[in-house]
Amino acid sequence: MNALKFPVWMRGPGSRAVAAPVIIIMMLSMMVLPLPAFVLDIFFSFNIALSIIVLLTSLYTIKPLDFIAFPTVLLVSTMLRLSLNVASTRVVLTEGHTGPDAAGKVIEAFGHFLIGGNYTVGIVVFIILTIINFTVVTKGAGRIAEVGARFALDAMPGKQMAIDADLNAGMIGEDEARRRRKEVAQEAEFYGAMDGASKYVRGDAVAGIIVTIVNIIGGLIVGMVQHDLDFAVALKNYTLLAIGDGLVAQIPSLIISTAAGVVVSRVASDQDIGGQLISQLFAKPQVLYITAGIIGGMGLIPGMPHVAFLLLAGVLGAAAFMQTQRNQQAAVVPEPTAATTAPEAEEATWQDIVPVDMLGLEVGYRLIPLVDKAQSGELLRRIKGIRKKFAQEVGFLSPSVHIRDNLELKPAAYRIILKGVEVGAGAAYAGQFLAINPGMVTGTLPGPATTDPAFGLPAFWIEAGLREQAQGMGYTVVDAGTVVATHLNHLITTHAAELLGRQEVQQLLDHLAKESPKLVEDLVPKLIPLSTLQKVLQNLLVEGVHIRDMRTIIETLAEHAIVTQEANELTALVRIALGRAIVQQLFPASNELSVMTLDNRLERLLMQALQASGPDGAGIEPGLADTLAAQAEKATRHQEQMGLTPVLLVPGPLRALLSRFLRRALPQLKVLSHAELPDSKTIKVTSLVGGQA
């Protein structure tokens, strides 16, 4: 089927630009050129249709700026009505003596059918419509537009600053900022234009009254003087024509005024007017029930129109019942999107800043049963045991572990968070067991090969039926919950220094003050600040020294704080006081200490480097540092092969330097000074760092 062909000038983008001048010229021509009655009928019909289109468009707009052309439409529609008034007046005065249909069928219909052919009724109806339009609708819409324009102008600087702030914060781009600025300017211009355009409608109402009076008086003069009509006939003909002409113009004017009031009076929302009315006016069944009861009661009063009142009460009651059923269904099955619509429009507040969890555990959805209290998750019980054991062994209570599911992780994956940063991750399969190879197994197992997430040992994930077989082959077999708990325990112990904040230190002091209040009072803050005490305790924890013996730590600090306030020097003195506990932690139930020592030559070089560079050891030359690291690694490996704890015994001045230097590469190596060893212990040198064993 061939498409309808239009001229090129009508199909191009320039046709829209031509349309506006053509319409304006046509309206002006209507005031000058005489129009036949048939053409008037077409234009009057178009005027009514245009007013209805404008009203419906205003009802279905979401925000005023969606109909930004409304002030111009208001002006054009007003000019159209005035042009039609002038054209119809010319026809009424020249052809009115021929009868009520002289100015066309539309004016005749309004004169006969709408007012019953009675010009007295017509005058009253016309005056009422004019008063409603002029006094109520137009005046109210103009006042709202005036206030809206003032508020929009007052709020413009604040909105511009908010846009600039979002742009500077990186929340929006340059294009979005430009669009928002344009929208703010358009909003102020729109309300200002509406304030002025409403004056057109008020002037149109006044002009309609004057034109109607002129038509009646002028028609009487023309009919009686020029066409020799009787006064009664002339009054009837010209009054009906004038009133019909006025109503044809006044009704579209009232519709346009209503549309203007709708546009400027609406509050910003994501619904059109119809949606707001239905969802807000008829949303509460209690209101409908009470209204139905009142209307029904009025219908029972003698003399009242029973059928109308009782019928309306029944309709309201049925509507209330249906709304109640709808609310109950919505309560049973809540809308999934209802909770995700509002936050975009809210301003940021301090409540949006969520504190970072000190210690957290995130799990994939397949591990949720391990941490779900409703499913008796065994991992919750294990974590409680880990915190209790940590407090008993290390000496302070670690922060609570905040557990949450994370759908971004793989189903069987988990990760451990410290201060919002991942410090460990792994996978655990609920219902399966991890067979860990401690180094002395007799075979391999069927199942995916992996590594123990806590210590990096080779392992296999096996089914429950292979558990006894794996144990018989020398594997250490643990369930999925134990895997996660062991990994968490290892990381908590490793990062104990980071978990000891000022709040935890203060809690330690408060706990100790219950038994020894004077001891705590004499130290903090009289001798040292809380921050120095925290630093000393963190130095101990970094090297794996437990701080359970807080009494000894406090007494040592109180004794030496008068001499020095430097945290590292105080740490060295505290380590000497805790020497027996440190050695027992490394060599439990053993009087013979198998340790490594430095070769004499290497020891002298390190002492010289320490004297040249200071206590931080920053001046150790690279060649010496590489030699030291390589020799220490070799000796540590030899110590571990013999099944001994790798401990390096060095002179006191070198201990802190070597501990910091070797800690990153050899975290399992512990560095002790001679002063930290109890006199009751026997020393056995098993390896030399930098020499032969």
Q: How would you classify residue 55: left for phi > 0, otherwise alpha for psi between -120 and 50, otherwise beta?
A: alpha
Place of tokens 């109890």: 678
Residue 457, classed as helix, strand or coil, is coil
Query: How is residue 347 annotated by DSSP?
Result: P
Task: Quote the mean pLDDT of the chain.
Answer: 80
Check pLDDT > 60 for residue 255. yes
Please answer whether residues 481 and 370 qualify as being in contact, where contact means their C-beta atoms are separated by less than 8 angstroms: yes
pLDDT value at residue 573: 95
Which tens digit of pLDDT belongs to each residue from 139-153? 776 676 666 666 666
Cα separation, 575 vs 556, in Å, equals 10
Most confident of 91-100, 117-126, 286-295, 413-422: 413-422
pLDDT value at residue 170: 60
Share of the chain above pLDDT 70, in %: 80
Query: How is residue 690 annotated by DSSP?
Result: T
User: Residues 355-376: what's their mean pLDDT?
Assistant: 87
Task: Give the gyration radius of the chain's Cα atoms.
Answer: 46
Check pLDDT > 50 for residue 10. no
Going edge to edge, which strands form the sheet with 647-650?
670-673, 647-650, 592-598, 682-689
Check pLDDT > 60 for residue 644. yes
Please give the angle made by the CA atoms of 122, 128 and 132, to the nearest 5 degrees: 145
Cα separation, 239 vs 219, in Å, equals 8
pLDDT value at residue 294: 83
Check pLDDT > 80 for residue 679. yes
Higher-confidence residue of 587 and 228: namely 587
Which tens digit of pLDDT belongs to each residue from 20-35? 677 777 777 777 677 7
Check pLDDT > 90 for residue 560. yes
Instruction: Kindly report the CATH class assigned to 590-693.
Output: alpha beta
Please answer whether residues 396 and 547 qualify as being in contact, where contact means their C-beta atoms are separated by less than 8 angstroms: yes
Q: Comparing 146-150, 217-221, 234-238, 595-599, which segment has the lowest mean pLDDT?
A: 146-150
End-to-end Cα spacing for the chain: 102
Residue 683, classed as helix, strand or coil, is strand
Check pLDDT > 60 for residue 451. yes
Check pLDDT > 60 for residue 4. no
Q: Comparing 266-270, 356-360, 556-560, which segment has the lowest mean pLDDT?
A: 266-270
Check pLDDT > 80 for residue 127. no
pLDDT value at residue 1: 39
Provide the residue type at 352 as one letter: D
User: Residues 198-204: what's their mean pLDDT?
Assistant: 69
pLDDT value at residue 39: 77
Q: How far is CA 596 from CA 58, 73, 450, 584, 591, in A?
A: 89, 95, 33, 17, 16
Let me know if 363 is exposed, middle or buried by CB neighbors in 10 A (0-12, 13-18, 19+).
Answer: buried
Instruction: Kindly report the CATH class assigned to 359-495.
Output: alpha beta
pLDDT band at 338 (very low <50, low <70, confident <90, very high): very low
Residue 441, classed as helix, strand or coil, is coil
Residues 6+ apart with CB under 8 A from 504: 396, 397, 399
Which tens digit of pLDDT belongs to each residue from 384-430? 889 999 999 999 999 999 999 888 899 899 999 999 899 999 999 98
Q: Comparing 345-359, 460-474, 532-546, which segment has the lowest mean pLDDT?
A: 345-359
Cα separation, 270 vs 667, in Å, equals 61
Share of the chain above pLDDT 90, in %: 29
> Is 0.85 surpassed by the pTM of this model?
no
Check pLDDT > 60 for residue 662. yes
Which tens digit of pLDDT belongs to each residue from 465-511? 899 899 889 899 999 999 999 999 999 999 999 999 999 999 999 99
Compute the 3-state secondary structure of the chain and give helix, strand, coil in percent, each to the nearest 5. 65, 10, 25
Let me know if 692 is exposed, middle or buried by CB neighbors in 10 A (0-12, 13-18, 19+).
Answer: exposed
Check pLDDT > 70 for residue 615. no
Length of the chain: 693
Check pLDDT > 80 for residue 637. yes
The b/e string for 291-318 (b: 16+ C-beta within 10 A; e otherwise) is bbeebbebbeeeeeeeeebbebbeebbe
pLDDT band at 672 (very low <50, low <70, confident <90, very high): very high
Cis peptide before 157 (omega within 30 of 0): no
How many Cβ atoms sit within 10 Å of the Cβ of residue 251? 18
Check pLDDT > 90 for residue 268. no
Check pLDDT > 50 for residue 601. yes
pLDDT value at residue 533: 94
Residues 6+ apart with CB under 8 A from 660: 617
Please, which contacts does 459-464 make with residues 24 or more away whose CB atoms are closer than 8 Å?
459/434, 459/435, 460/434, 460/435, 461/429, 461/432, 461/433, 461/434, 461/435, 462/432, 462/433, 462/434, 462/435, 463/432, 463/433, 464/431, 464/432, 464/433
Q: Which CATH superfamily is domain 500-577 in?
A: FHIPEP family, domain 3 (1.10.8.540)
Cα separation, 115 vs 179, in Å, equals 52
The dihedral over CA atoms of 616, 621, 625, 628, expressed in degrees to the nearest 10, equals -100
Please answer whether residues 602 and 628 qualify as being in contact, where contact means their C-beta atoms are separated by less than 8 angstroms: yes
User: Residues 331-336: what's their mean pLDDT?
Assistant: 53
User: Residues 522-540: what's their mean pLDDT?
Assistant: 92
Check pLDDT > 70 for residue 291. yes
The dihedral over CA atoms of 110, 115, 121, 124, expressed in degrees to the nearest 10, equals -50
At 626, which helix (H) or strand (E)? Answer: helix 622-641
How many Cβ atoms sit within 10 Å of the Cβ of residue 11? 10
Q: Comparing 163-172, 469-478, 535-544, 576-585, which segment has the lowest mean pLDDT?
A: 163-172
pLDDT value at residue 321: 82
Which structure tokens are listed for 445? 């197992």
Cα separation, 447 vs 432, in Å, equals 10
pLDDT value at residue 279: 64
User: Residues 232-248: what's their mean pLDDT?
Assistant: 74
Check pLDDT > 70 for residue 6. no
Place of tokens 């021929």: 98
